[in-house]
Structure 1
Amino acid sequence: MDYIHVNEMEFYGYHGVLMEETKIGQRFRATVSLAVDTSKAGKSDDLGKTVNYAEVYAICRSIVEGKPYKLIEAVAEQIADALLKEFKEFVSGVKVLLIKPDPPIPGHYASVSVEITRGQFV
């Protein structure tokens, strides 16, 4: 299996349980990995035979910057579902890592994140 990775996309969204998260918003970073057979695209050099990275970015952006969710688990689920549906011809599985770098909770840590895998991802 081959993989396409779109790494560390950054967006601004209003997801969270706390009121300040839904009013002020915050940054989110997303990395998606798509399980794809890239051999046809690699042999033909034809974008029509693979996943368009710009479209992946646009889908992720529309979800993270769109409807607010309480949980980043829900945001990650929406991303995975949308990518599997949009690219069903090419993608057999997807992994989504969604990072909330600055959650408003006390303590010292780099970030909080959720990683989900959907479909066939070996």
Structure 2
Amino acid sequence: MLTIALEQASFYAYHGLYQEETIIGNTFLLDIAVRIPDTREIDDLADTVNYQGIYEVASEIMAIPKPLLEEVVYAITTQLKERYPAIQHSLVTLRKMNPPMGASIRNSLVSLEKTY
């Protein structure tokens, strides 16, 4: 399998269950890794997953506020598979930095791994 990934893509977004999160927003870090078959040597971008395309999908999804981070990672995996049918495995991890919990916590994290 060939892995194509983005690590710690930073977004300022408005995901959250609480009203103040949808108003104030927060910093999110996103890791996305996808795997495709490596049955032959790749010498053309059309034969692989373009990491710029991965970022475009992530940007589109991150721009739409969702109450739960689980919804965000699910939407990203779904859209990536639709755009790149060759994907056989994906791992999407979303971190909300300094979640508003009244405690000193670096980040909360939701991760979704799928095999197709």
TM-score normalised to the size of structure 1? 0.88
Give the secondary structure class of the aligned counterpart of 2:88.
strand
The CA distance in 2 between the partners of 1:60 and 1:51, in whole Å, is 14
Indicate whether 1:86 and 2:89 are aligned: no
Deviations 1:11-65 (A, max 9, x none): 111110111110111111110110112453xx24211110111111010011012
Q: CA RMSD in A?
A: 1.3
State the identity %. Answer: 29
Equivalent residues in 2 for 1:1-122 (5 A)?
A: 1-40=1-40, 43-65=41-63, 67-88=64-85, 90-120=86-116
Consecutive unaligned residues in structure 1, runs of 5 or more: none
Bigger shift: residues 53-62 or 101-110: 101-110
Deviations 1:74-114 (A, max 9, x none): 101100111111101x2112110000012111112221001
> What is the number of equivalent residue pairs in this alignment?
116
TM-score normalised to the size of structure 2? 0.92
Give the secondary structure class of the aligned counterpart of 2:70.
helix
Matched letter for residue 48 of structure 1: A
In structure 2, do the counterparts of structure 1 residues 8 and 38 end up closer, same or farther at CA, with 3 Å as the change threshold?
A: farther
